Structures are given as structure tokens and as C-alpha cells.
Amino acid sequence: MPTLNGYNSIENHLFVRIEVDYYKSSSSSSPISTVLRFSDRRTPFVINGETYTGLGNLVSITSSSSELRTSSGELSISISGIPNSSIYEIVNSRIKGCPVTIYRGIFNPVTGELLGVENNPMSRYKGFVNNYSLQENYDIDQRLASNTIVLICNSSIDVLQNKVTGRTTSPTSQKKFYPSDISMDRVTNLENATFNFGAS
Amino acid sequence: MSFIDDIADFASSTKSFITGNGIGSTLARTALAGLALSQIAKSINKDNEKKDTPTDYSIRNQSAPNTNNSIPVVYGTAILGGKVTDAVLTNSNQTMWFCLTICEKTGTLMSTGANSQISFEAVYWNQLKVNFQSDGITVASFSDEDGNVVTDPDGLIKIYPFSGNSTSPINFSGYSSGNGYYAYNLFPDWTTSHTMSDLVFALVRVDYNKTKNVTELGDIQFKVKNTIVQPGDCLYDYMTNTRYGAGIAPGEINQ
């Protein structure tokens, strides 16, 4: 298998895959499960039988850290050029919480073909859409508006740590789950309490 | 069609091909590996922390009553102390009762659909193994790993294990007889509202005897065993449980 050392110049592109379980394309349509696939290439490209729409410079992805062990990390994906007519889809689809996978593909800049090096394209990031924001860009001269969506993604670690619950040995915590259970009611009074065990 | 297609059209670049498809499947393993490593890292870092760092309320040792004590979750087998959640002095100051809350009762096994069971495999008192009389609840002796036996506590300490709530008494493993009581019928002043819901716990009765050196609650460690052992069962239970886990809806988890 050739390595990157055999190439004088390379070009890399990012491919984003977002699995949306609840996607509504219009107010009258029923929600569907779909997968959004796009890349910062200018032309569409097929990876593992799935076509990634080329959005070129309309996509911007912040850097992510690469560590030996799995760690928490935040990453933002900006997509520009969204027409006003598509805002409904974003607002009414359940994008928050959707799994996100980002791949990096290394290409031959001359032929535009994926290089035949090992693990190409490689997985760069796996996480979830934690939140998103919409920003309107209004062109006064053209009387046209487009929008930018910024998807804020968190790794699996972040999501699990955010959602971790648990009980403590306090009456409040116990009653949160079992309102009529008074088993922990005396813990507060027992803190720093002393007993004359054995006193006659 | 999705908004990605509209962007592509807007930019006059390409035709879009976004279509519905099956969902990739490695979320669970990624999360398990990540979470496990995160916990290991935390554990390592814990050892490096200075002594003046805030109290860790999630330790496995026996803890005095404190409303900040976390109730742990046990998968597989673990040795851990209980959190004292009630204590009563009775019998003219000669008998003390303690309630030691040990861990959460866990859910069902994803692999079989059966309810998980947590059993008490052994008990240790100040690092010594507790041996019971034939009734399975009254302490007969302590023994160390070299076979040395101390019979001083004989008849002075009783330990009643429960797995689930106040009405789920169980026996210690290896004893045919044992706890046949509801917790609120044992513990002084408890009523049927002391349900200890979804908790694994033990009631300990200690009769004071200075001559026999039984004058306080020892450092009790329980070896408990959960039937949830397989990694997939553990992860699924932890991810879906809304009481002590991540509370993720089962439908959001890829099988």
C-alpha cells in the first residue's frame, strides 16, 4: 500500500455525515429519517456507496484535537448559503442530538481522485449535534437573503457526561424519584451526630 | 430533499443526492470505550490530587451520613462499603442499628430481558471476613486469609442484607437460611414508608460489649455481585437508565 510520501502534492477534503431521525422538509410533509451528507469539495463524491454533496467553500469546519485516548471535544460546522425557503426544514427537524461523523479524504490535486493510501478516507470525528445557531446574511443590492447555520458538535464523551444522573443519600434526591419514600429523611440530622453507644 | 440540496442549488454547484438510509452502528462501542477510558483517567488523576482537594463523595469506602454521598452502580462483582443513611441507638444505649446503603438496584439485561439480580457474596469487618452462624445473619466470627479466627463478636452483630427495597430480603451466598424479614419490621422507628426503593442495602445491629471489643460499627465492606456482567448489558443499562445512567431513550441507541 503506497504512503503519502510518494506524492509531491495532495489535497484534502472533509466529508460530513449527519443522521437525522426526524426530518421535515415542509409543513405538510411527514417526518422522515434521512442522512445529510456533504463535503467541502466542489463536486459530489461517493464514499462507501454514499454520495456527499459538494458544497465547496460554503462549508467550514473548525479544528479538532487528536488524542491517544478518547476525550471530550467540541467542533463547529458552518454551512453558508442556505436560502430562506429552507429555514423551515432546519427549524422543524430535530437536528439536535443527531450523530455526526466527519471523514477526511486525501486526493490527488491533478486528477481529483482519492489517493490509494491506507485508511483513506479516514474517520476524523464522531459526535453529536449539541446545538445549532442560525445567522441571516442579507444582500441589500440583490434583495436576497441567505443564511448560515452553525452546528455545534460534541463528542460522545461530552454528551454522556452531560446526561449522567444519579442519586445521593439525601431526602431531596430520594424523593425526586420516589416522593413517598422517607428512607433518607434522617441523613441530614445524622450528619455530625454523636451517640453514647454503651453508656450506662 | 433537504436544505443541503437547496444550498447546492443556491450555489449553482451540483445536484444533491441526499437520501434516507440506515444508521451506522458503532455508537455504543465508541461510547463504551470513551466512557471507560474517561473513568480510568479520572481514577488516575484522583490519585494525583492533593490532599486539600474537595471531598470525594463517590468513594467506595464506608461513609458517614452525608447528603452529598453518591449511591454507586455496580456491574459484575465489586467490594464496596455502604453509606450510612440511618442510625438509631436503642436498648438503653446498648444496641445500635445502622442502615448501610450500598448501591443502586440495576435494570434488566438487554441480552436476555431478565431482571438483574445483585447478591451478597461476602462481608468483611475491618478487613476480616465475616462468618455467620447457621441462621445466616448473626456473626459467629471473623477470620483472616491465613485462617486465624476471632470469635469475640459471636452473637453480638447481626447483618441483614436486602436487594431492591425494604421488602426484598435475601440470604448471603453460601447460607441456606438468612434474612427473612422486611426492613421496616427490623429497624427501630421505621414504617412502611421507609421503602428504600431500588436500593441494595444492609441493616446492621451491633450489641455493645467492651470485653469483646465490640464498641462501634466496624469498617464493613460488602462483596456484591450483579448478574449484569456482559459489556453490552452494562453499557445499555447505563445508557438508558434515567435514575443513575445517561437517560438516553432506547430508541436512540443503535443495536
ipTM: 0.75
Cβ–Cβ gap A99/B23 under 8 Å: yes
What is the model's pLDDT at position B184? 97
What is the model's pLDDT at position B4? 74
Q: Is the pLDDT confidence value at A83 over 90?
A: no
Cβ–Cβ gap B71/A168 under 8 Å: yes
What are the backbone dihedrals phi and psi of residue B195, each rounded to the nearest 5 degrees, phi first? -90, -20
Return the residue in B2, B57, B97 with the most chain A beta carbons within 10 A, the one to mutate for interface testing: B2
Q: How far is CA B178 from CA B132, B160, B170, B173, B205, in A?
A: 9, 8, 7, 10, 15
CB contact, 8 Å: A106 with chain B?
Answer: no
Sign of the CA dihedral with B181 first, then B184, B187, and B188 last? negative
Instruction: Compute the distance between CA of residue B12 and CA of residue A190 in angstroms, rounded to an integer.
Output: 71
What range defines the domain where residue B148 resides? 59-230
A-B contacts (CB, under 8 Å): 224
What is the model's pLDDT at position A63? 75
State chain A's mean pLDDT as an integer: 86
More confident residue, A157 or A88: A88
Instruction: Compute the distance between CA of residue A162 and CA of residue A158 in angstroms, rounded to an integer.
Output: 6
More confident residue, A168 or B24: A168
Strands A50-54 and A32-39: parallel
Q: What is the DSSP letter of A198?
A: T
B53 lies in some domain: no
What is the model's pLDDT at position B41? 44
Q: What is the DSSP letter of A4?
A: G
Cβ–Cβ gap B85/A187 under 8 Å: yes
Give the distance from residue A6's alpha carbon to the nearest chain B alpha carbon, in angstroms.
Answer: 32
Instruction: Compute the distance between CA of residue A99 and CA of residue A17 in angstroms, rounded to an integer.
Output: 8
pLDDT in tens, A53-76: 988 888 888 876 666 665 667 889
Q: Which among B3, B13, B57 has CB closest to A89?
A: B3
List Cβ neighbours of B154 (8 Å cut-off, separation of 6 or more): B133, B139, B140, B141
pLDDT in tens, B10-53: 554 333 333 334 333 333 344 333 443 444 345 444 545 445 66
**Model confidence band, residue A86 (pLDDT cutoffs 50, 70, 90):** confident
Q: Where are the domains of chain A?
A: 4-163, 165-194
Query: For residue A69, what is the nearest residue in chain B, using CA coordinates?
Result: B37
Mean pLDDT score, A120-136:
87
What is the model's pLDDT at position B148? 95
> Which A residues, 44 through 83, put their C-beta within 8 Å of a C-beta on chain B?
44, 50-51, 53-56, 58, 69-72, 79-83
- Residues A109 and A159: beta-carbon distance below 8 Å: no
Instruction: Compute the distance between CA of residue A60 and CA of residue B43 in angstroms, rounded to an integer.
Output: 37
Cβ–Cβ gap B195/A183 under 8 Å: yes
The residue type of B216 is E
Q: Which among A19, A166, A178 has CB closest to B23?
A: A19
B154 lies in some domain: yes
Each residue of A6-35: b (16+ CB within 10 Å) or e? eeeeeeebbbbbbbbbebbbeeeeeeeebb
CB contact, 8 Å: A116 with chain B?
Answer: no
Instruction: Compute the distance between CA of residue B241 and CA of residue B248 in angstroms, rounded to an integer.
Output: 7
Share of chain A above pLDDT 90, in %: 28
CB contact, 8 Å: A198 with chain B?
Answer: yes
**SS3 call for B223:** strand
What is the model's pLDDT at position B39? 47
Strands A99-107 and A11-23: antiparallel
What is the model's pLDDT at position B19? 37
Q: Is the pLDDT confidence value at A166 over 60?
A: yes
What is the model's pLDDT at position A197? 93
| Weakly modelled stretches of chain B, pLDDT under 50 | 12-41, 43-45, 47, 49-50
Give the distance from residue B127's alpha carbon to the nearest chain A alpha carbon, in angstroms.
Answer: 23
List Cβ neighbours of B160 (8 Å cut-off, separation of 6 or more): B137, B169, B179, B181, B183, B186, B202, B203, B204, B205
